[in-house]
Amino acid sequence: MLTYTTRRLVLAVPTLLFISLILFLLLELAPGDPMAQVPLTVPPDVKQKMREALGLGEPMPIRYWKWLVQFFWIEPQVLVDWIFGTHFSEGDLRVISWQTRSPVMDLVVQRIPQTLWVVGTAYVVGVLIALPIGIYSAYKQYSFFDQAGTFVSMVGFSVPPFFSGVLVIVIFAVHLGWFPSIYDTTHVVDSWDSFVVQLKQMIMPVMVLALQITAQISRYMRASMLDNLNQDYVRTARAKGLTEYTVVMVHVLRNSMIPVVTVIALAVPAVFGGAIITEQVFKVNGIGQMLIVAIQANDLPTVQTLTFIFAILIVLFNLIADVLYGLLDPRIRYD
């Protein structure tokens, strides 16, 4: 297992480099100019200096290299000079956002905690709710609980976040007044009372995201459990006198989790993508809202960085899913 994991991590490096190159080239070829929003009264020589300050006057290979350096917080001054035969000052290796004129990775680091508070909590809550629902729905197939779970799942699949988000705001914030309608990203948790305030403002965005997560994973869990409940090894286990709890929660559940692990692992990047709309609705100052604003402002360095983060998440959680296969099923060997 260790050899396989190491080999996959090594292979992930050229994969991510290739993805980063494709992302960079595609966005570089996109139409738009950061100087288009500059007033016409600004002299051309001033515009040219602004372009040079943003690094737009440099060759594309140098800009690509500097973007990678900025992303990984590395400043290999000697290596840059050796490759390109040029000299850069220490500040030149910081890729600047065209919109805010600040280092992109500094902005990302500031926004990620807000996203993790909402998305991370929603994902944990969604998985913890979805797995028991899927297990019990399969065990009690066609029961009232199963029918109710199917109805809730269809609602979660069908209702988009921009509608469900507005709906919960109208119900719980406007009419009932239980929770704040806007997420306060400046709120600092330093006491029990401030922690309660943080929980209150997290409930509605977490509710919207967790509904989608629960709907998806519970359906996969139910289908996988139904497929294994009819297998021969289940009848054999019951014939040997094992308790129903042991048969279902040990033997059937372990085999049923193999396909579900893929869904749980690979859905993490999708949740970050889905949180873009939710962050817009609840005004969560996270990386999702940052991406939308960057796209609207044609801020290519920011868009490139955030898109590459999503690519890293996909590769990472794909590896995690493959490793978990071997832990769940002893028959799977990677060596």
User: Which is the CATH superfamily of the domain at 105-328?
Assistant: MetI-like (1.10.3720.10)
Q: What is the pLDDT of residues 15-46, one digit of tens each?
A: 888 888 888 888 777 666 666 666 667 677 77
What is the number of alpha carbons within 13 Å of residue 83 lying toward its C-beta?
11
Q: Where are the alpha helices (DSSP H) in 93-240?
A: 104-115, 121-139, 144-158, 161-168, 192-229, 232-239
pLDDT tens column, 108-143 = 777 777 777 788 888 888 889 988 998 888 888 888
Task: Please give the Cα distance from 69 to 18 (Å, whole number).
Answer: 15
Q: How do residues 268-283 score in pLDDT, each as one tens digit?
A: 777 776 677 777 777 7
Distance between CA atoms of residues 90 and 87, nearest Å: 10
Residue located via tokens 């016409």? 40
Higher model confidence: residue 245 or residue 186? Answer: 245
pLDDT computed for residue 75 by the predictor: 45
For residues 30 and 307, what is the distance between their CA atoms, to the nearest angstrom? Answer: 15
When pLDDT is averaged across residues 195-218 and rounded to a whole number, the result is: 84
Residue 90: pLDDT above 60?
no
CA 205 to chain centre: 15
Tell the burial category of 254 from Cβ atoms under 10 Å away from its Cβ (0-12, 13-18, 19+): middle
Q: How far is CA 95 from the centre of its chain?
A: 23
Q: Which residue has the higher pLDDT, 286 or 55?
A: 286
Q: Where in the chain are the domains?
A: 32-102, 105-328
Global confidence as pTM: 0.73
Mean pLDDT over all residues of the chain?
77
**pLDDT of res. 159:** 80
Asked whether the predicted pLDDT for residue 327 surpasses 50, the reply is yes
Each residue's pLDDT tens digit, 167-183: 888 888 888 888 887 77
pLDDT tier at 83 (50, 70, 90 boundaries)? Answer: very low
State in Å, rounded, how far the first CA of the chain is from the last one.
7
Q: Is the pLDDT of residue 56 over 80?
A: no
Q: Could you tell me the pLDDT band of residue 206, with boundaries at 50, 70 and 90?
A: confident
Please, which pLDDT band fits residue 332 given cuts at 50, 70 and 90?
low
State what percent of residues in the chain have pLDDT above 70. Answer: 80
CA 162, 164, 166, 168 torsion: positive or negative?
A: negative
Give the number of C-alpha atoms closer than 13 A to the C-alpha of residue 219, restricted to the C-beta side: 13
Q: CA 218, CA 126: separation in Å to the nearest integer?
A: 9
Whether the per-residue pLDDT at 8 is higher than 80: the answer is no
pLDDT band at 335 (very low <50, low <70, confident <90, very high): low
